[in-house]
Amino acid sequence: MRTIPEVVERLVKRTPFVEEALVEGLINISALARKFLPEIEKELKKEVKLGAVVMALNRLPITLGERLSKKISFVVENIGDITVRSNLSDFTFTNSESLIQCRRLLLDKVSKKGNFFFTVCHGVTETTLVLSSVLEQDVQEVFEKENLVSSTSNLASVTVKLPKTNLTTPGLYYFMFKRVADYGINVVEIISTGQEVTLIVKEENVEEAFSIMKNLCK
């Protein structure tokens, strides 16, 4: 049979913003307890005293905060190289039967042009290309008959190399992106692989975004 502390922990962990606010002491515990009380009573199928929920919440932030911060701190402290690229452009097209062939044609066309940035994100209904601005003309020629949803120029990227443990660290991306949002920087695109995450921002914001990533653990 589940206990009040177990149910309370599940409810808190269900919402990262609540968890973080509890850890930082920004939430009215009694008000949160009153909000959780009906759901706790429904799950436990018995009447529960408000004081018991308050007590469970008061004891929870320490364990949650320590567990979360230790995992995230380990990843952040072991961040590898941070790479910045400028002069990027973003194109989003509606998916079609011919779009994949266009991607192949574009790669063939630009493969001999030397060092350039090129990523593709194939979604359910759309595909986004983020690439060096010098390839804009090639994109326009190859994708001429495709439906262009949007395009943006004057972009830059900040790529962060992460340790393998990032794959099993809940809340890491939230921790990273919240720092960027706190500074009012708009993230145009996010590109991630197993051990890399790349933020695409406007060129005017790239230096600040780089500084934030570099100083995550401070």
Quote the pLDDT of residue 124: 94
Same domain, 204 and 103: yes
Determine the average pLDDT of the residues in 116-130: 93
Share of the chain above pLDDT 90, in %: 55
Paired with 199 in beta bridges are 158, 190
User: 171 by DSSP, 3-state: which?
Assistant: coil
User: 75 by DSSP, 3-state: which?
Assistant: helix
Confidence of residue 63 (pLDDT cuts 50, 70, 90): low
For residue 130, give the DSSP letter.
E
Q: Bigger pLDDT: 144 or 65?
A: 144
Same domain, 51 and 102: no
**Could you say which of 40, 73, 106 is where a domain stops?**
73
CA 120 to chain CA mean position, Å? 18
Paired with 130 in beta bridges are 90, 119
Instruction: Determine phi and psi for 101, rounding to 5 degrees.
Output: -65, -35
Confidence of residue 78 (pLDDT cuts 50, 70, 90): confident
Quote the pLDDT of residue 149: 96
Same domain, 180 and 101: yes
User: 115 by DSSP, 3-state: which?
Assistant: coil
Cα four-point dihedral sign 33, 34, 37, 39:
negative
User: 204 by DSSP, 3-state: which?
Assistant: helix
Quote the pLDDT of residue 50: 93
Quote the pLDDT of residue 159: 95
Same domain, 42 and 109: no
Paired with 131 in beta bridges are 89, 118
Confidence of residue 122 (pLDDT cuts 50, 70, 90): very high
Determine the average pLDDT of the residues in 128-152: 95
Question: Tell me: the pLDDT tens digits for 160-190?
Answer: 999 888 887 877 888 888 889 888 899 999 9
Determine the average pLDDT of the residues in 24-35: 87
Q: What residues make up the domain containing 13?
A: 4-73
The answer for 71, left when phi > 0, alpha when psi is -120 to 50, beta otherwise, is: alpha
- Provide the number of structural domains found in the chain: 2
Read out DSSP for 60-74?
Answer: HHHHHHHHHHHHHHH
Same domain, 54 and 147: no
Quote the pLDDT of residue 144: 95
Same domain, 136 and 192: yes
